[in-house]
Amino acid sequence: MRKVYTRPRLLKRVPFHYCPGCGHSVIHRVMTELIDEMNLQDRIIGIPPPGCSVFAYHYFDVDMAESAHGRGAAVATGIKRAFPEAIVFTYQGDGDLAAIGTAETIHAANRGERITAIFINNAVYGMTGGQMAPTTLSDQVTTTTPYGRDTKIEGYPIRMSEIVALVRGAVYIERTAVNSPANIRKTKKAIRKAFQAQIDDLGFSLVEILSPCPTNWKMSPLESWKWVDKEMAKEFPLGVIKDTTGKKDVD
Amino acid sequence: MSRGGPGLGSISASQSDYFQATRGGGHGDYRTIVLAPSSGQELADLTHRAFDLADKYQIPVIILGDGMLGQMMEPVEFKHEAPEELPIRSNALRGAKGRPSRIIKTFTSKPAELEEINWSLFRRYQLIKKEETAFETFLVEDAKLIVVAFGIAARIAKGAIKNARTNGMRVGMLRPITLWPFPSEKVKGLAKRTRHFLVFEMNMGQMIEDVQLALEGRGEVSFYGRPGGVIPTPSEVLRAVSRLYHQKGLELGK
């Protein structure tokens, strides 16, 4: 009998603490598979964030260093500059990368740091109980926007990937989702491309992943998968946002 | 490099950030080594030392200067050669090559585990206190009055003390070079022979608290300071020294 599917070698044998239907587990799986396939375990260093995925280091069997809220790109910069042979990635949520870490992210991208940001966008602050995040959709109900996000008062959902794409040091940016087998495959492909841009020493790469949060969205896992397509992807269109990896000169 | 505060304040030199540097201002039960240079040369030397200390103890080191030190120009001799290669620490992240993967973190959901992290840091702080406390003394042996000042204020005070000496006043100076760890034992030791201390700072009185804590009531502590980015002159400090010296009747051999 031929084995066609198995647990990734680099996913530690620890039960996930994530909620049923959460995107983190899928993304962890995809990433550990990919790190193994690309043979990066012996030189990859990850920066997990505060938030639900703070415990990413309990699951990824690779070197990891925690960072404070929003500081992922700064810590990754330090590690990469001290040890340029490393492949360094940050794993950050939208309450992290798109709020408190906006400055770090934009400037790390602008400096063309050879790091990769894996940006998990679930449109809320997940761990703290589903408060409004900068990425929360217009009219979306959260614990801090009980009548729906009023853009006149709370502003608009921020499109970080598009903003980061404007800076010259960013070479590869793609937005994907993990709400269907096809999208999960595309996510893996996008992360592969982002890591490759770093391996090729080209510049900053970022993969934004729309990730369901059924608990805080107050939906069943299946409903949350559908909501990603029906609502989220309208505000945050999927696809390659920037790709200058094929060019000799950045931008 | 401290400037006049609070808030945006001014860009003129001040020592208003002593509390911020020595008491923290960040999250957690922590200490940082704080170095206070008082000249261009020392700024160069202590910067070198700061990196070595940070590497040795694996904690942040703060160099607390002021707007005057930061802007002045002086000849500087770079005495030290940087080590060609720093040792790779046993917990360094280099990728999990031929060894299990590693995690560098302080976050834990177990209070008992975090308490142990705090105790281990505390032990490190005790060691730093023992090994790294640094200060300079100036004419303290026969002094009846000791000026305690750090950084650029100490340099201003030195001029005042030299003038006080030519006027027959037995005045000396203690200059803490490490503000944390503070040279408390030295202050206590000086109080065996000298009863009067004048703390001089370019603020409203911050280091004075460390002097008082160190003395534990063994001496009399006075204060002279100018806040807000005003830089006192040596003659101004001399007036403060002279007034105190006579007020306390020190010229009478008290």
Is A63–B105 a contact, with Cβ atoms under 8 angstroms apart? no
Per the prediction, chain B carries an average pLDDT of 94
Q: Is the pLDDT of residue A13 over 90?
A: yes
Provide the percentage of residues in chain B whose pLDDT is more than 90: 85
Which pLDDT value is given to residue A251? 46
Compute the average pLDDT of residues B119-126. Answer: 96
Q: Is the pLDDT of residue A239 over 90?
A: yes
Confidence class for position A250, pLDDT limits 50, 70, 90: very low
What is the identity of the amino acid at B89? R
Is A62–B96 a contact, with Cβ atoms under 8 angstroms apart? yes
Q: Which residues of chain A are within 8 Å of residue B95 when distances are taken between CB atoms? A: 41-45, 62-63, 86
How many domains does chain B contain in total? 1
Q: Does A156 touch chain B (CB under 8 A)?
A: no
Provide the percentage of residues in chain A whose pLDDT is more than 90: 96
Nearest to A63 among B96, B106, B107 (CB): B96
Compute the average pLDDT of residues B95-105. Answer: 92
- Look at residue B173 and tell me if it is in a domain: yes
Which pLDDT value is given to residue B24? 81
Confidence class for position B25, pLDDT limits 50, 70, 90: confident
Summarised one tens digit per residue, pLDDT across range B127-139 is: 999 999 999 999 9
Q: Is the pLDDT of residue A109 over 90?
A: yes
- Look at residue B168 and tell me if it is in a domain: yes
Q: Is the pLDDT of residue A248 over 60?
A: no
- Look at residue B62 and tell me if it is in a domain: no
- Look at residue B113 and tell me if it is in a domain: no
Confidence class for position B88, pLDDT limits 50, 70, 90: confident
- Look at residue B156 and tell me if it is in a domain: yes
Q: Which site among B58, B93, B108, B117 would you substitute to test the A interface, given the most A Cβ atoms closer than 10 Å to its Cβ?
A: B93
Give the list of residues 6+ apart from residue A124 with CB closer than 8 angstroms, or none: A95, A130, A131, A132, A133, A136, A142, A213, A216, A217
Which pLDDT value is given to residue B80? 74
- B230 lies in which domain range? 135-252
Q: Are strands B135-138 and B178-180 parallel, antiparallel or unpaired?
A: unpaired
Give the list of residues 6+ apart from residue B92 with CB closer than 8 angstroms, or none: none
> If you count them, how many residues does chain A have?
251
Summarised one tens digit per residue, pLDDT across range A164-212 is: 999 999 999 999 999 999 999 999 999 999 999 999 999 999 999 999 9
Quick check: helix, strand or coil at residue A41?
coil
Is A86–B104 a contact, with Cβ atoms under 8 angstroms apart? no
Instruction: Give the residue on B whose Cα is nearest the Cα of A60.
Output: B101
d(CA B177, CA B38): 8
Nearest to B97 among A43, A57, A79 (CB): A43
The model's pTM is: 0.89
Compute the average pLDDT of residues B138-144. Answer: 96
User: What's the complex ipTM?
Assistant: 0.85
- Look at residue B142 and tell me if it is in a domain: yes
What is the distance in angstroms between the Cα of A56 and the nearest Cα belonging to chain B? 10
Is A79–B93 a contact, with Cβ atoms under 8 angstroms apart? yes
Provide the percentage of residues in chain B whose pLDDT is more than 70: 98
Residue B122 CA, chain-centre distance (Å), reads 20
Alpha helices by DSSP H, chain B = 18-23, 40-57, 67-71, 111-132, 151-166, 184-190, 207-215, 234-247
d(CA A117, CA A126): 19
Is A61–B96 a contact, with Cβ atoms under 8 angstroms apart? yes
The count of CB pairs under 8 A between chains A and B is 52
Q: Does A91 touch chain B (CB under 8 A)?
A: no
Domains, in order of start, for chain A? 23-243 (3.40.50.970)
- Residue B200: name the closest of B143, B161, B142, B254 by CA: B161
Summarised one tens digit per residue, pLDDT across range B213-232 is: 999 999 999 999 999 999 99
d(CA B120, CA B101): 23
Per the prediction, chain A carries an average pLDDT of 96
Tokens of A25: 């587990």
- Residue A21: name the closest of A156, A154, A195, A216 by CA: A216
Tokens of B62: 């703060």
Is A66–B105 a contact, with Cβ atoms under 8 angstroms apart? yes
What is the distance in angstroms between the Cα of B98 and the nearest Cα belonging to chain A? 8
Compute the average pLDDT of residues A133-151. Answer: 97
Question: Domain of B179: which CATH number?
Answer: 3.40.50.920
Tokens of A150: 């009023």
Compute the average pLDDT of residues B42-69. Answer: 94
What letter would DSSP give residue A150? -
